Structure 1
Amino acid sequence: MKRNWVYILTTTLVALMSFVTGLGNLIPFPHIEADLHHLGYPSYFRIILGTWKVIGAIVIAIPRKLWIKDLAYMGILLDLSGAAASRWAVGDGATKVIVPLIISILTTVSWWNFRMRLSN
């Protein structure tokens, strides 16, 4: 229980990030739509990506020990690594490549603490 605050903080940040950007894909927020276009993705991809981001955010935010959380964490990590790789592939600056990688670290910390809670 001593590290419970780490789990709560990282999970809240990751869930909010995934939920807000997922909604930004579904609504769509103009800057997110422009980013996807800049990266070369078709417009229908934002619906697929947004739906899975929102679902992933909800799943990791549920305060129960569900097996499906591992899948949600993996999906979020795939999204973030794909974002970094896509940014790098189109020649975006280092900041735009590094930010999703930093969020990946937060996601990994959240997942690790989730797994540690399961073992207790």
Structure 2
Amino acid sequence: MKSTKIIFWTTTIIIFLFEGVMPAFTFNSPEAKEGIRHLGYPEYFGGLLMVFKVIGVLLLIIPKVPARAKEWAYAGFTFDFLFAGLSYYCVDEQVFFAFMPLIFLAILAASYFSYHKLQAAPQV
């Protein structure tokens, strides 16, 4: 049980830092705006994506959030990572940039499965 908690919190904090904290501080930078434009999305998309990412990581990191809300957050990040990889591949055809979101998808999956393992365990 202890190792499951460690896996859950480690993976969830990684998602929190890279999908919540970093976008919140960098979404308005010229590099971020250029990245959104380069992928063919409108400029307002970056701001909307940042808002939903911050809400999503808060749902994941706060323990008392209902399980259904956490499920929606996990689903949203799954779509985000899949479509980010697809967008990078379709625009640049560079496997490295298309592969990076899939690494975070694997981290998210570890968080998701450890979350469910903790929920299924008897509470002491």
SS in 2 for 1:64: coil
What per-residue deviation string (whole Å, max 9, x for no partner) do you get for residues 38-89 of structure 1?
Answer: 0000011112111100100111011236221111111111111110000011
Q: CA RMSD in A?
A: 1.3
CA contact (8 A) 2:19 2:53 kept: yes
Report which stretch shifted further, 63-72 or 73-82.
63-72
**Shift of residue 21, structure 1, vs aligned partner:** 4.0
Alignment deviations for residues 62-117 of structure 1 (CA, whole Å, 9 cap, x no partner): 12362211111111111111100000110242110110000000001101111111
Say whether residues 1:115 and 2:116 are aligned partners: yes
For 2:52, the equivalent position in structure 1 comes to 52
CA offset digits 1:2-32 (Å, max 9, x no partner) = 321111100000111111343132xx12222
Q: Which amino acid aligns with 1:36?
A: I
Tell me the residue number matched to 2:97. 96
TM-score (norm. length: structure 2): 0.88
Identity among equivalent pairs (%): 28
Q: Is the radius of gyration larger for structure 1 or structure 2?
A: 2
Unaligned ranges ≥5, structure 1: none
User: 1:64-103 maps to which residues of 2 (within 5 A)?
Assistant: 64=64, 66-67=66-67, 68-103=69-104
TM-score when normalising by structure 1:
0.91
Distance (whole Å) between structure 2 residues aligned to residue 54 and residue 10 of structure 1: 16
Q: Label 1:112 to 1:65 Cα distance change in 2 as closer, same or farther (>3 A).
A: farther
Instruction: Answer whether contact 2:59 2:65 (CA < 8 A) is retained.
Output: no
Aligned residue for 2:92, secondary structure, equals: coil
- Say how many residue pairs are matched: 118
Taking a change above 3 Å as real, the CA distance of residues 21 and 92 of structure 1, as seen in their structure-2 partners, is: farther
